[in-house]
Amino acid sequence: MVTTDAELSPAETSATVHWARFGQPLPEPGELWMLGLDQRAEPVPFTAAATSVWPMTFDREQTRSLLLGHRSTEMEDKWHVLASPVTTDGTTTVAFYRSWTGTRVVELELQLTESGSHVIRATWESAAGAIKDPDEAFARGQFLLVFRHTLGNERPPTEPTKVVPGRVEGLLADRELSLGARLKKLFQR
């Protein structure tokens, strides 16, 4: 029997649209997936990278979801989110790329802080042949969709009220903590 949209409740229609757009529900939390830990393929390098500052901050839970990433298990999942190992100065890179083609769409460089993290810079694919809409608005929109629906973050990242080049107000004091202290604080529940 074929069911039409008219026969579905609003909740069923919403669930169907979500499944078609974002794939399956999130895997169990806690499975860390990082470059170099297994044989999974790395994202395809950018064809033509464009870079900008996105003054976004993430709380501890949001940062944790970014660091844990997401490994697509079905073609319908559409996205891989992959964090590189954290450096000794507390920075990491999180790549958002298509699970089927390996096309890297967005990459964020993050600085870990006591309260979570903030974006140092965002890089996205700007080659017209690589993705459909290669501009900053598209990249930012795709990041926010994956951040919310694939990584399961209900709240969007916050944008600070005061940004000074090279400094996000209120976050620099966290740099004085050791990397171990920052990571421990991030993963405390």
* 112, β-bridge pairs: 117
Q: How far apart are CA 99 and CA 2, in angstroms?
A: 30
For residue 92, name the pLDDT band (cuts at 50, 70, 90): very high
Note the Cα 114 to chain centre separation in Å.
19
* Of 88 and 25, the one with more pLDDT: 88
Total count of domains within the chain: 1
Regarding beta strands 116-125 and 163-164, do their DSSP bridges make them parallel or antiparallel, or are they unpaired? unpaired
What was the pLDDT predicted at 152? 86
Tokens for 124, please give them.
């996205």
Q: How far apart are CA 133 and CA 46, in angstroms?
A: 14
pTM assigned to the model:
0.65
For residue 159, name the pLDDT band (cuts at 50, 70, 90): confident
Q: Quote the percentage of the chain above a pLDDT of 70.
A: 63
> If you average pLDDT over residues 123-152, what whole number do you get?
88
From its phi and psi, is residue 148 left (phi > 0), alpha (psi between -120 and 50) or beta? alpha
Using the CB atoms, write b or e for 77-103: b if 16+ within 10 Å: bbbbbbbbebeeebebbbbbbbbeeeb
What's the pLDDT tens digit per position in 121-131?
999 999 988 88
> If you average pLDDT over residues 145-167, what whole number do you get?
75
What's the pLDDT tens digit per position in 166-188?
444 444 344 445 556 656 666 66
Domain that holds residue 30: 5-187
Nearest by Cα to 108 from 27, 20, 99, 118: 118
For residue 103, name the pLDDT band (cuts at 50, 70, 90): confident
What was the pLDDT predicted at 175? 44
* Of 101 and 18, the one with more pLDDT: 101
* Of 128 and 11, the one with more pLDDT: 128
Q: What are phi and psi of 160, to 5 degrees?
A: -65, 155
What was the pLDDT predicted at 7? 75
